Amino acid sequence: MAAEDLPSQFDVVILGTGLTESVIAAACSRVGQSVLHLDRRNYYAGNWASFTFNGLLSWIEEYKNQQELQITESEQEWRSLIEDGEEAVPLNSVDSSISNLEVFCYASEEEEQEEETKDLLTCPNAETVSEETNSDSTETQDTVTSDDVTESNVKVQNEENEDSAPKEQLHASDISEHSQSVEEKQPNRSPADPPAELQKKITYQKLLKEGRRFNIDLVSKLMYSRGALVDLLIKSNVSRYAEFKNIGRILTCRNGKVEQVPCSRADVFASKQLTVVEKRMLMKFLTFCLDFEQHPEEYQDYSEKPFSEFLKNKKLTENLQDFVLLSIAMVTQQTLTEEGLKATQHFLRCLGRYGNTPFLFPLYGLGEIPQCFCRMCAVFGGIYCLRHSVQCLVVDKESNKVKAVIDTRGQKIGCSHFVVEDSYIREEQRESIDYRQISRAVLITDRSVLPSESDQQISLVTVPPVESSGPAVRMVELCSSSMTCMPGTCLVHLTCSSSGTAQQDLAPVVSQLFHIPTTPGEDPSEGTGEISKPAVLWVMYFNMRDTSAMDSSCYSLPSNVHVCTGPDAGLGSDYSIKLAESVFHCLLPDEEFCPPAPNPEDIIYDGDAPQAEGRGFDESNDTEANKSQAEEEGTTNETNPENSEAAEMDSVAQETTLDTNPPSEE
Amino acid sequence: MHGRVKVKTTAQQEEEKRKEREKKLKAFVCARDSVLKKRSAGEHDEEALDLTQQLLSSNPDFATLWNYRREVLLHLETLREKDEVQKLYESELHFIEACLKVNPKSYGCWHHRSWVNTRLPQPDWTRELGLCDRCLSLDERNFHCWDYRRLVVKESGVSVEQELQFTDRLIGSNFSNYSSWHYRSTLLPQLRPQPVLDSAHNTSPSPSASPQSHSHRVCEEQLLKEYELAHNAFFTDPNDQSAWFYYRWLLGRAEREEMISCVYVSREGERVSVAFSKPVHAGSVGLMLVLDGQPQQVQWRNAHPRLRHSPVWLCDLPAGSISDTSNEHNLTIHWTDKHTHRDCALYTGCAESWCRDSATDQELFRSELSVEKSSVLQAELQSCNQLLDLEPQNKWCLLTIILLMRALDPLGHEKETLTHFQTLKEVDAMRSSYYSDLCSKFLIENTILKMEYAEVRVFSLSNKKLTTLCHLDQLLLVTHINLSSNQLQHLPPQFSMLQCLEVLEADDNAIESLEGLYHLPKLEEVSLKNNKICKVSDLETLATCTKLTRLDLRGNPVHKTDDLESELSLILPLVTALSL
C-alpha cells in the first residue's frame, strides 16, 4: 500500500502488533474507532511472534545484522512537517529487546541419501551463528572452526525462506491476504505422516526441508482455561479464529527423574508413585485450597510466613510439598502463604474446564493469538501496515498532547490517541528504567522427555531450581499435533527469569534433561547411559527484555500516549490482557471492552451490498463434520456443563468473508 | 458513534427467528402428513425413505417413522441383490449416526441401529465399537450406548480381557462412573473365576465352558488387585460412592446355600414348622413330608396370611397321628427341588422335638460378606481404619468398617460397631433411620449368636434402641422374649413365626400394632406396658392366641376407651389376668 493511500486522520494509531497492542486495536475497532495499526517488522506479533524454522533462521540473521548495523538518522525529512506550536518526539527505530542469542546445531549435516553411511568423523561437531564466540568453552565450541559450510548453509536457507514462508513474510496491510494464508496452511500441515518417517534419524537438511511444519514461539506461554485471555477470546468471539489443544500432562523433575505431577482427580487416582494416604492428603489439601477463603483459621497463623512452611505444617510429605509448591502453585520457596494459596486455587479452578490440566495451547503457536485480534480489528475496519513504523510523534505544545504522528514514509497522520509498544520508546523519554530479563531456550528434540502411550501430548514440565535460591525453570514440550513442529520431533521451550545470560541459566537444565550429542547426528544408542534421554537436534538461547514492571510513571510522554510493555515472564497472559483492558478504558472510558462480535447474518449493510455469509458446516469436509458432531454431543452432555464452551473453543476456525469493510472516512 | 457496525436489534432477530420456526413447523407437519398417508396406502418406496429421513433428521424420536422405515427397508430388501442390500443398510447406518448427533439418547435411533445390524449381510462390528467408544467419550453415562455396546461386544466376540481393559481406561479417566465399575463386576468372574472348591457340587464342568455355570466369585489374586484399585479411588475421593459400592461387591458375594435349616414338631399341636435358609414359597418348591416312612398329604401354610414368600412354613398333621406320647415318630422333610432333606425324631415322652443347624455353626450372619480368608479382610479393615483416621466423618468409610468388623468378629467388635453407628447417625442425619434399622439388625444377630452359644431358648434384647425386628425365623424355638425399653413401633407379621413363644415382654416401646401376635399356639403371657396401643380393635388379633391368659396393658392410650374392661372381656374371654 502506498503512503499516499493512508487516510490522514485516525482515532487511534497503534504501533506494535504484540498481544497487548493487538487486543487494544481489536477493542477500539470493535466499538467503531478508526484504527491504524503499524509494525516496523515484516511479521505480526512482535516479540509474541511464531516462526517457521526457516523463518526463525532469518529472524536470527536479522538480529545478527542489527547488532552490526550503525544507526544513521535522517531527521531532516520530517522536521519540515513540524509546525509552530508543535514539538517532535522521535521514536526508536531499532529493537534492542533481544540479547545474548546463541544457536547450536546437533543434527546430522549429512544429506538424506547418505544417511546410511554414518560417516560421523568428517562431520562438524556443532555450529554457531552467534557473533560472539564464548571463551568459556563447552565441548561444542572447540570445533567451531572445523566447518564453515554450515553457516553459509543457513544463509542460503534464509534466502529460500523469503519465498517459502508466506505467513511471516506478509507485509501488505490487507488482512484478508493473511486470513487466506491461515486457511492454506491447514491442508499443508497435517500431522498425519507415514510412521516410517519417525524411525528415521532427523538431519539438519530434514529440519530445513520440513521447516514450514514448525511454529516456534519467541514467548512461551500457556493459556489458563479460566484466565483473562481465554475469557476474552470467548467473550469477544475472537476464539472463532483459532483452534486449541489441551496440555495433556504436567511433569516435574525430581532427583534427575522426570515424573508426572498428579494434579487432577484422575491423575491422583492413577498415580503409581503416591501411597493411598498421600493421595488422601493431597486431595484433602487441594480441596481446601479450592475455597481456602472460607477457612481462614487454617492459614491465618501463616499469613506472614512462606507458603512452603505452611505446606510442611499441613503434614504433606516432602514429595507432595514439592508437587504443590513447584508444579501446582508454581511459586518459589519465599512466596507468602496467601499468594501460594491463591495460585493453587487459580490452578485448580482452571482444571477440568477443557480437560485434565488447567492449560490450553493455541494450535500453530502462541503467535496466532495476537493475529486473531488483529483480524478482528481488520474485520471492523482497522488498517494494517507491516514494515511501516512511526518516526516521531507530533505534540501540541499547549495541550501537551499528541496530535499526529509522522510515519516512516514521511506522512503526517492525525490521531487522538497513540498506543505504542515499549521498545519504540527512546531513552530520553524514560524517567526510570526497571528492566528485567527473561532467559529463553528453544530446543528441537527427537522425542519426549517422558514417553507414554500417546506421543501426541503437550507437557508442561516444572524443573526445580538447581540451587534453592535460583529460579525454577518452566519447560513446555510441544508435540507435532500442536502444529508447531515436524512429526518425529518435539519442540521444547524453556523459560525462567534471568540471573545471567540465557545460556548460563538454562544450559545446566538442558544437559540434565537431554542428551547433547558430542558429534552431530550421533546415534543415541551408541552413547552410554544417555539412552533414556531425548537427544537435542538444535538449540537456541536468548534473553528477552521483560518490561512488565514499568508503568506510566516510568515515561515522560504526553497524556494521550499509552505505552504497552512486552511479554512478562509468567506462564499465563493475564498481565498483558489486563493491561490492554486498562489502556482501553483510558482511551474510551465509556465503552465496553471487546463486546461479542455479532454473527455475520445479523449485520445490516448500507446500500445494496450483498450479505456476506459464513461458511456453513454443510460445505465442510468430513473431519469438520465429525468435529461438529463432537460439539453437538458435547452440548447435550449433562455430566459436564462446561463442554459447550469447550466445543466453542475447539471449533474449527470458521472463515468469514467479513473482512472488506472500507475504512470510514469520517 | 461513527463507524460502528450496525447490528439487527433483538426484536428484529426474534421476529426473524419466529418466522423461521413457523416455516419449519409448517414444512414438518406437511411432510409428516404425507408420510403417514403413504404408510396407510402401503407404499414402500424410495420416496418414503427420503421423506422419513428428512423428518427423522430433525426429530429422531418419532418412533412411528422408524417403524415405517423398517417396513420399507424389509420390502426393498426383497427386490435387491445382496451387495445392494449391504449398501442400503450401510447408508442407513450413516443416517442413524447423523440422527444420533441430534439426540445421542434417542431410544428410536439406538434400537433402529441394532435392527439394521441384524439385517446387514456383513456387519462391521469394529466400526460399531468405535462409534460406542466415541459416544461414551462424550458422555460416559449414556446408558443407551452402554446397552448397544453390550450387543456389539456380544456379536463381535470381543474378548473379556479387552473389555476389562476398556473399563480400566474408563475408570482411569473418571472413576465416578458406576457404569464402568459395574461392567467390571460382570467381567471379572468370567475372566478370573475362583477355583471351584466345593467337592459336593463338583458336577459343574470348568467355569469357562459354560457362562451359566461359572462362579460369581473372583480368584483371590485378582481380588487383591481390585481391592487396591478401590483403595486408590476411595482414598482419592472418599465421598464418591461408585468405588465404595464396587468395594462392597468385592467384599460380599457369597450367597447362602439354600437348605432346610430347622424342623420343629409339636406333639400337642400336631404341627410341623419348617425353617428355610431363604424365603421360599412352599407351595411351589416341591416340599414333601414323610412320617414314619409314609408320605403325608399336608397343607403347607404361612405363619401369617399376609406373608407370601417366607422362611418359615407350617403344616398340621392328620389328627391323632402323633398325639400319643408313648409313641416314637420319625419325620423327614424332603425338598425335592434342591435334592435335600432333613430328619427329625420325636422320642417317646417328649412333647416336642427339633432338628436344626445353629446360627453359630453356619457363621450365619457373616455370609453377607464373602468368606474370604480372614487375614485378607483384616488387612482391608486396617486400610479402612487408616482412611477413617484421615476422614473421621466419612460415612462410606464408617459403614464399610462396620461391615468388615461384622465379617471378622461380630461379637468382638460389637462395642466399636455401636460407636461407629452413633457417628454415622450424626454425620449423615438424613439416613439416621436407616442406620438405626441396620444397627438393630446387627444387634439382633449378635443376640441370636449369644443365645445359641448359651444354648438357651430365651431371647433378651432390652434397652438397645431397637427400631425394627428381623431374623425372626431364627427365633422359631424361642420361648421367652424380652424386647423392653426399645423404640419398636410394630410387631410385624413375621413375629408369628415364633411358634414356641410363651412369654412376650415388650414394655416401654412405641408399639401401635400387634399384627404379628397371630396364632401363636403357646403364647400365655404378654406384657405391653407403656406403649401406644390406642384402639380396642388393635387387640383383636390376640384372640387367635388361644393360650393367652395374662395381658398387661398399663400405660397405653387405649385406657381412655369407655368401658374398656367389658369390651376386652368380650373379645378376649380367655384372658384372666388383665392389668389395665
Q: Where are the domains of chain A?
A: 600-650
Q: Which of B3, B100, B101 sits opposite A32 (nearest CB)?
A: B3
Long-range pairs, A57-66, Cβ under 8 A, ≥24: A57/A154, A57/A157, A57/A158, A57/A161, A57/A211, A58/A158, A58/A161, A58/A162, A60/A101, A60/A103, A60/A129, A60/A540, A61/A129, A61/A154, A61/A155, A61/A158, A63/A98, A63/A101, A64/A101, A64/A129, A64/A131, A66/A94, A66/A95
Residue B393 backbone zone (phi > 0: left; psi -120 to 50: alpha; other: beta): alpha
Q: Report d(CA A539, CA A101) in Å as an integer.
A: 11
Answer yes or no: are the C-beta atoms of A439 and A497 closer than 8 Å: yes
Does any domain span residue B427? Answer: yes
- B296: domain CATH number is 2.60.40.1130
Distance from CA of residue A429 to its chain's centroid?
Answer: 28
Residues A279-290 pLDDT 10s: 999 999 999 999
Q: Decide: helix, strand or coil at residue A4.
A: helix
Most confident of A339-348, A457-466, B132-141, B250-259: A339-348
CA gap B302, B281 in Å, rounded: 9
Q: Which residues of B touch A283 (CB under 8 A)?
A: 235-237
Q: What is the pLDDT of residue B510?
A: 95
A397 CA: distance to closest CA in chain B (Å): 29
Report the residue from B103, B104, B141 with minimal CB separation from A639.
B141
Show which of residues 584-603 on chain A sit within 8 Å of chain B, judged by CB atoms: 598, 602-603
Interface test with B, best of A633, A636, A661, A666 (most B CBs within 10 A): A633
Is B349 in the same domain as B379?
Answer: no
Side by side, the strands of the sheet bearing B287-291 are: B294-296, B287-291, B329-335, B340-346
Nearest CA in chain A to B168: A270
Q: Which of A32, A265, A269 sits opposite B2 (nearest CB)?
A: A32
Average pLDDT rounded to a whole number, residues A136-146 = 36
Q: How distant is the Cα of B176 from the closest Cα of chain A, in angstroms?
A: 10
Query: B361 pLDDT band (50/70/90 cuts)?
Result: low
Rounded Cα gap, residues A659 and B14, in angstroms: 26
Q: Are residues B464 and B388 in the same domain?
A: no
Say if B3 is an interface residue toward chain A (CB within 8 Å): yes
pLDDT of residue A659: 32
Chain B contact present for A270, CB below 8 A = yes
Which domain range does residue B553 map to? 456-579
The Cα A440–Cα A506 span in angstroms is 8
On whether any CB of chain A is under 8 Å from the CB of B141, the answer is yes
**What pLDDT was estimated at residue A5?**
73
Strands A412-421 and A561-564 turn out to be parallel
Task: Give the closest-approach CA distance of B1 to chain A in angstroms.
Answer: 7
Residues 14-33 of A with CB under 8 A from B: 31-33
What is the nearest CA distance from A136 to chain B, expressed in angstroms? 49
Q: Do A639 and B387 touch (CB under 8 A)?
A: no
Whose cell is 400319643? That residue is: B324
User: Residue A155: is its pLDDT beyond 60?
Assistant: no
d(CA A21, CA A418): 11
Q: Please give the pLDDT value at position A632.
A: 38
Instruction: Note whether B135 contacts A: Cβ–Cβ < 8 A.
Output: yes
Same domain, B380 and B292: no
- Taking contacts as CB-CB distances below 8 angstroms, the residues of chain B near A630 are 138
Q: Is residue B206 part of a domain?
A: no
DSSP string covering B292-333: TTEEE----EESSTT-SSEEEEEEEPPTTSS--TT--EEEEE
- Cα A198 to chain centroid distance, Å, stands at 27
pLDDT for A664: 38
Q: Residue range B504-524: average pLDDT? A: 94
The pLDDT value recorded for residue B494 is: 94
Mean pLDDT, chain B, as a whole number? 88
| Chain-chain contact of B138 with A269 (C-beta, under 8 angstroms) | no
pLDDT band at A362 (very low <50, low <70, confident <90, very high): very high
Asked if the Cβ–Cβ distance from B4 to A279 is below 8 Å, we say no
Contact criterion met (CB below 8 Å) for A333 and A325: yes
**Quick one: B348 and B368 in the same domain?**
no
Q: What's the confidence (pLDDT) of residue A634?
A: 37
- Residue A381 has its nearest CB partner, among B3, B100, B173, at B3
Cβ proximity of A439 and A463 under 8 Å:
no
A301 touches chain B (CB under 8 A): no
ipTM of the complex: 0.78
Interchain pair B8, A602: CB under 8 A: yes
Contact B235 A33 (CB under 8 A): no
pLDDT one-digit tens code per residue, A8-51 = 999 999 999 999 999 999 999 999 999 999 999 999 999 999 99
Task: Calculate mean pLDDT across residues B198-206.
Answer: 40
Task: Note the pLDDT of residue B277.
Answer: 85
> Does any domain span residue B153?
no
Share of chain B above pLDDT 90, in %: 57
The neighbour count for residue B411, using CB atoms within 10 Å, is 14
Residue A175 has pLDDT above 50, yes or no: no
- Report the distance separating Cα A303 and Cα A342, nearest Å: 12
Q: Which of A598, A632, A633 sits opposite B7 (nearest CB)?
A: A598
- Does B90 lie at the interface with A, CB-CB under 8 angstroms? no
- In this predicted structure, what is the pLDDT of residue B4? 67
pLDDT of A70: 56
Residue B480 in any domain: the answer is yes
Task: Report chain A's mean pLDDT, rounded to a whole number.
Answer: 78
Is the minimum CB–CB distance between B233 and chain A shorter than 8 Å?
yes
At residue B365 the predicted structure's pLDDT band, cuts being 50, 70 and 90, is: low
Please give the backbone phi and psi of residue B552, each rounded to the nearest 5 degrees, phi first.
-115, 115
With a CB cutoff of 8 Å and minimum separation 6, the contacts of A631 are A644, A647, A648, A650, A651
Q: Do the Cβ atoms of B138 and A630 come within 8 Å?
A: yes
Encode pLDDT of A71-117 as tens digits.
Answer: 555 556 778 888 888 999 999 888 889 999 999 999 888 765 544 44
Any CB–CB contact under 8 A between B232 and chain A?
yes
Full-model pTM:
0.76
Q: Are A216 and A53 in contact (CB under 8 A)?
A: yes
Comparing A620 with A228, the larger pLDDT belongs to A228
Reported as a single tens digit per residue, the pLDDT across B366-407 is 555 555 567 888 888 999 999 999 999 999 999 999 988 988
Q: Do residues B536 and B575 share a domain? A: yes
pLDDT tens string A181-233: 333 334 443 444 444 444 568 899 999 999 999 999 999 999 999 999 999 99
Between chain A and chain B, how many beta carbons pairs sit less than 8 Å apart? Answer: 95
Per residue in A601-612, pLDDT (tens digit) is 777 776 544 444
Q: CA angle, corner A593, sides to A414 and A370, nearest 5?
A: 75
Domain end call among B306, B336, B356: B356
On whether residue B146 sits in a domain, the answer given is no
C-beta atoms of A380 and B5 within 8 A = yes
Is B554 contained in some domain? Answer: yes
CA of A84 vs chain B CAs: smallest distance (Å): 31
- A636/B105 touch (CB, cutoff 8 Å), yes or no: yes
Residue A276 sits at the chain B interface (C-beta within 8 Å):
yes
Of A69-83, A217-231, A314-328, A631-645, highest mean pLDDT: A217-231
Residue A494 has pLDDT above 70, yes or no: yes
Q: Are B439 and B419 in contact (CB under 8 A)?
A: no
Identity of the residue in B105, B236, B238 whose CB atom sits nearest the CB atom of A265: B236
Question: Mean pLDDT throughout B83-101?
Answer: 92
Residue B427 and residue B475 in one domain: no
**C-alpha distances out from residue B172 to A226, B158, B240, B272, B553, Å:** 25, 21, 14, 57, 62
Pair (B461, B573) in one structural domain = yes
**What is the C-alpha separation between A327 and A551, in angstroms, rounded?**
30
Q: Of B439, B473, B493, which marks where a domain is finished?
A: B439
Nearest to A440, CA basis, from A539, A516, A533, A370: A539
Check B7 against A279: CB less than 8 A apart: no
With 50 as the cut, is the pLDDT of residue A148 above it?
A: no
Q: Do A276 and B172 touch (CB under 8 A)?
A: no
Closest C-alpha among B37, B99, B38, B49 to residue B73: B49
What is the pLDDT confidence band of residue B9, given thresholds at 50, 70 and 90?
Answer: confident
Instruction: Residue B398: name the closest of B244, B249, B181, B205 by CA.
Output: B244
Which residues of chain A does B387 touch, with a Cβ-Cβ cutoff of 8 Å? 276, 280
- Kindly determine whether residue A639 and residue B140, on different chains, have CB atoms separated by under 8 Å: yes
Q: Which residue of A has its CA nearest to B231?
A: A276
- How many domains, chain B? 4
Max Cα–Cα distance, chain B, nearest Å:
120
Out of B174, B231, B383, closest to residue A266 by CB:
B174
Tell whether A121 lies on the interface with B, counting CB pairs under 8 A. Answer: no
Domain closes at, from B100, B123, B146: B123
> Chain B: residue nearest A662 by CA?
B3
pLDDT confidence of residue A571: 94
pLDDT 10s digits, B416-442: 999 999 999 999 999 999 999 999 999
Answer whether B103 touches A (CB < 8 Å).
Answer: yes
Of A31, A33, A602, the CB nearest to B7: A602
Q: Which residues of B touch A281 (CB under 8 A)?
A: 390
Tell whether A279 lies on the interface with B, counting CB pairs under 8 A: yes
Q: Best residue in A31, A278, A280 to probe B by mutation, most B CBs within 10 Å? A: A280
Q: Compute CA distances A101 → A60, A63, A93, A564, whole Å.
A: 8, 8, 20, 24
Is B103 close to A266, i.e. CB distance below 8 A?
A: no
Burial of A10 (0-12, 13-18, 19+ CB in 10 A): buried
CATH number (domain holding residue B549): 3.80.10.10
- For B229-243, the pLDDT digits (tens) are 999 999 999 999 999
The residue among A439 and B216 whose pLDDT is bigger is A439
In chain A, whose CA is at the least distance from the CA of B238? A280
Residue A134, classified by CB atoms within 10 Å of its CB into exposed (0-12), middle (13-18) or buried (19+), is: middle
Q: Does B11 touch chain A (CB under 8 A)?
A: no
φ, ψ at B146 (rounded to 5°) = -55, -45
What's B378's domain CATH number?
Answer: 1.25.40
Any CB–CB contact under 8 A between B173 and chain A?
yes
**Residue B243 belongs to some domain of the structure:** no
